[in-house]
Structure 1
């Protein structure tokens, strides 16, 4: 049973939220610095293996030149290894995250937060060994799999949002979740810019030592400064199927009450879950491709420009927070989510046809409100289910999103390089239609209640 420690902290709920942002900022800094570096390292190692010597620069200077078949081979192999590494982590996490979610409800949020950060430490150690010894990139699968055993970034996010849900009420939850997501953007911007510049100056090794130290710092910060938000049960068991059974009962039977209310509850639960699934799946699926997309012709970005581009993506977390706060004054949450989806769709369409740096950054800019969708949907779901039960869906989002987009990219490279982003724009029409329909239904039900 969750309870709030707000009264015991000076500064009230704001102090609690900023304490939670402290460990999240550090963890996200580590993850945000690591992701672009991983993709670029894979590109370079695979280029060496196939004998590609960087002739992509000629393709950038001559846009009418025929595509380099060796460059296409490197792109395909890099996308496939991105997929394999993602599967190694998310497939394991799909089994462990629900266990950790259930365990955190009883044993506390802090043990899960410490465990996931230590798992990312182990992953980074494996990556450093691969880089120092020039081992095959297949060993990255081992590092990602070991991190997946501790829940990886999925469990970390789930525990963070569950923590915020523990210390907030339903009325303010959407904005507090948005604040937490804005922290993702702020730390991601700093990590992306510094990581790109650092890579350009010193190579891969030193930035990965920074990733290792920040993950250790996040675990230490949690242990020393983060207050527990739930009443702990010393007898709580990690290996239990209780949570899996609870999730199955939740989605198969819905809520309690009369049959009509139960059907409505179950319908809303499934539809909002589908919205969450699509939006988060598209976000993480496209995120895996951005570096590879700009690394090759016709854009041919270097490490520093890739870092700036990643920072521009993360800026959407901050602009979405400001937009959400401003729009909530005059619009209902569902309409704010629809504006966020429109922003995301427009940005993906522009990115899909971007052949210049200016057009690519225009696509990033048009996505300025794209991250306003997830706080709204998370808030809607948190009113229907326990926050930790969203972890199962989120793990599946990462797994499916990464699988679909990393498979789609090499399959469509021959006829349209940006097709995955165009596909993402089309898929986002599904949650837009669902949210519109549910909002109209809720307004109709509200009018019926008022009339009666």
Structure 2
């Protein structure tokens, strides 16, 4: 049994399916429990929040409850990102020497235990929503989503080569998006049938299945040297990771490496506004949970189709290089966020989301470009450094968007979307600079990731 029969994509699909199946319901659960447990409103009225927005009284009640619920949700988001970001830094260097599989099993165990706690909290009536903090503990101790994403990409890069890496990364992003699409699309429907506890039980089952697949089918991809001492929490690992990230490389490869890391950080920060965007759509356009999940489904479908078009058709079949695809995608993303910021009607939101057709291209193409200029032995360290920074930025981005939205809701509700618009423009300029640099110099090179520094470099495409 190995990754050829059942690969890393399966656990990734199941985990993101579970995350997106539970995310809208989890937020609704916090609003519901905040309403009748903390604020002592009638439970029947509280149960309508996010489900029935045609009632003016319900809309007014949601405006009162939402700030407290947002605070609870924001605090949990912050807590579940800080420690995992720190752990992710150490995990990268450790996994380069001791293997990816133990970390995969650890993070998936954390997800499963976290969902079990959600089931328990939802099953106990009148329990304060702050008790959901208990589900953060397994995530904190196991590395959480930042570590899972980092180790999954490292695992995939271990089993690919320079010829098929871009395609496999695109497939990974597509499967990730498919999991999010399925979860988002089914979330409201399953919730209407079986309620909060039922949804959380399904999420638990999906997490356990992902854990079992990883344990039974995924082989180790790193050649482990038993005689090599590698402590998990080591200052030497931190120094080595910093040295590896910033050391001088052939030609302009160090500059490209840093631009890639910065661009992914900016992109993640820009894309981390979906929660605040949901608040905008609920408040300004009076969308309920069903309409929000429909919109999210359309958004995901467009991204998956665009990923297939950009990565398989343009990049793999037509051999379009990474840089032109990245620049085109960033331009589309910038126009999308600008339109959402100033939208006044529902149809404008749907026109804007159609421009996200190339959004799924950015991350795999940047990671593909990045993986081609660094040797195999440094993959874990570089990805750990980048994803830790991404997660830290995401941790601050969510609250930042919420604060901007809260303070501008009565004047310019879409003001928060001008931040991701600006970030996409900055990324666009960074990659245009790389294109100009490439055209004026022949010293930018690719390395074969499987051959470390020994591979003869070739000019960049």
State the TM-score, normalized to the length of structure 2.
0.84
Give the corresponding residue for 2:398: 402
In structure 2, what is the Cα distance between the partners aligned to 1:431 and 1:220? 39
After TM superposition, the structure 1 = structure 2 runs for residues 73-152 of structure 1, keeping only pairs within 5 Å, are 73-133=64-124, 134-152=126-144
Q: Does 1:292 pair with 2:284?
A: no
After TM superposition, the structure 1 = structure 2 runs for residues 45-60 of structure 1, keeping only pairs within 5 Å, are 45-48=33-36, 49-50=38-39, 51=41, 53=45
In structure 1, what is the Cα distance between the partners aligned to 2:11 and 2:33? 33
SS of the equivalent of 2:162 reads coil
Contact 2:260 2:366 in 1 (8 A): yes
Change (3 A) 1:224 1:448: closer
Q: Does 1:255 pair with 2:252?
A: no
Contact 2:341 2:417 in 1 (8 A): yes
Change (3 A) 1:399 1:448: closer
In structure 1, what is the Cα distance between the partners aligned to 2:137 and 2:329? 34
The worse-fitting range, judged by mean Cα deviation, of 329-338 and 155-164 is 329-338
Residue ranges of structure 1 left out of the alignment (5+ in a row)? 1-7, 10-14
Give the corresponding residue for 1:33: 21
Give the corresponding residue for 2:148: 156
After TM superposition, the structure 1 = structure 2 runs for residues 148-227 of structure 1, keeping only pairs within 5 Å, are 148-227=140-219
Change (3 A) 1:78 1:307: same
Structure 1 stretches (4+) deviating beyond 6 angstroms?
A: 54-57, 59-62, 447-450
Deviation at 1:272, TM superposition (A): 1.9
Give the corresponding residue for 2:419: 423
Give the corresponding residue for 1:12: none
In structure 1, what is the Cα distance between the partners aligned to 2:111 and 2:83? 14
In structure 2, what is the Cα distance between the partners aligned to 1:387 and 1:89? 25
Deviation at 1:356, TM superposition (A): 4.5
Give the corresponding residue for 2:351: 362
In structure 1, what is the Cα distance between the partners aligned to 2:253 and 2:59? 54
In structure 2, what is the Cα distance between the partners aligned to 1:17 and 1:316? 29
After TM superposition, the structure 1 = structure 2 runs for residues 15-30 of structure 1, keeping only pairs within 5 Å, are 16=4, 19-30=7-18
Contact 1:103 1:236 in 2 (8 A): yes
Contact 1:343 1:367 in 2 (8 A): yes
Change (3 A) 1:416 1:81: farther
In structure 2, what is the Cα distance between the partners aligned to 1:351 and 1:275? 22
Give the corresponding residue for 1:392: 385
State the TM-score, normalized to the length of structure 1.
0.85
Contact 1:161 1:387 in 2 (8 A): no
In structure 2, what is the Cα distance between the partners aligned to 1:242 and 1:310? 43
Deviation at 1:70, TM superposition (A): 5.5
The worse-fitting range, judged by mean Cα deviation, of 415-424 and 109-118 is 415-424
Contact 2:181 2:300 in 1 (8 A): yes
In structure 2, what is the Cα distance between the partners aligned to 1:409 and 1:124? 30
Change (3 A) 1:243 1:364: farther
In structure 1, what is the Cα distance between the partners aligned to 2:129 and 2:444? 61
Give the corresponding residue for 1:347: 336
Deviation at 1:73, TM superposition (A): 4.1
Give the corresponding residue for 1:310: 296
Residue ranges of structure 2 left out of the alignment (5+ in a row)? 446-458
What do the CA deviations read for 1:31-80 (whole angstroms, capped 9, x no partner)? 121222222222223333444957989x9769xx9x97754443333333
What do the CA deviations read for 1:313-359 (whole angstroms, capped 9, x no partner)? 32244223222232322633111111111222222223334454443
The worse-fitting range, judged by mean Cα deviation, of 158-167 and 98-107 is 98-107
Contact 2:96 2:379 in 1 (8 A): no
In structure 2, what is the Cα distance between the partners aligned to 1:227 and 1:378? 23
Deviation at 1:20, TM superposition (A): 1.6
SS of the equivalent of 2:285 reads coil
Give the aligned length.
Answer: 428
Contact 1:348 1:363 in 2 (8 A): yes
SS of the equivalent of 1:16 reads coil
